[in-house]
Structure 1
Amino acid sequence: MQDQPIRDKQSIQQLYNAILPALAQHVHQNLAAVIPLFDNFNLERMVDTWTKDPAADSAVEISIENGNVQQLGLRIRLEGFQKAGAETFDITKDLVFKLDRSSYTVGPGKGDSWPEKEYFSRWDKAEYETLAERWSEELIDDITQRLENLAS
């Protein structure tokens, strides 16, 4: 009998089909003022089907269906910054869910992780808002840095 939920097809599907879309809604709301500054906006779910679990059978394809995905998350892409006097640019940012055996971490993917949660644990509204706000602030900081670099 297992005490802790583990990474499997159901736990990954729950993250992909329930948690990521809800988190994306909060991110979209946080970026409502930034989105009109760009020609194109795309916020999508992503699944890493390249990274193999070192302990897994190498003959098994990496997929949500096989329950052996190591990472999934959200990717935002803002294209064609439009501001008078500024050079146009695009920006992309990922929010990565790193899936361990009995828990997962969430972060911007640079080895930096924020919360750690067990599979099937509930997310409350404050957790969605905090994470969406933190990721949105990082994106806005990246945009600001890009504008400062263009100005100098």
Structure 2
Amino acid sequence: MYLNQDQIRELDLITREALDILYLEDVVLLSRSGLEQSLAFRFGIYFHSRIKDVEWLSTLDLDMEYSKNGNDPKRTPTKPNGSRPDLILHSRENNDNNVLIIEFKGWWNSQKRSVDRNKILDFTNFEGDYIYGLGILIEFKKNRYVLELIQGNSTLNLSEVPLI
């Protein structure tokens, strides 16, 4: 699904708002290592509370660890046996409204960020099967977060996306 610049900016803002709440409300989780799924779940709660009042997002499904494409596994060029995105905003049962894919990585995780970045690139590729409108790699640091926004095959520089 192609997203315009206003939609990208809005998703970025909603994501940052949800992360700001997470960093206020869930300090204990952020200070401990190995709780990536717990943090992703809490983020999902805060994110969902923000999107339910946004008209173009309110009817979409927010799913975590969603590994299906219909009844089949979500397969990508780099994961031919199946892939399970951390969080997706989409319409279930079709690939018409694949809006957002998010991958999370904790400060304690030594796995290369390129693994998650490549997963996002597979899902946002305009030539691929899924064509998510935007991908976000969120890295949890102890006292801050780092976002990398990806559309198509490239990382977005938000200074190039005009404010809403």
TM-score category of the 2 structures, normalised to the smaller one: 0.3 to 0.5
Give 1 or 2 for the bigger CA radius of gyration: 1
TM-score by length of 2: 0.33
From the two aligned structures, give the one with the greater strand fraction.
1
TM-score by length of 1: 0.35
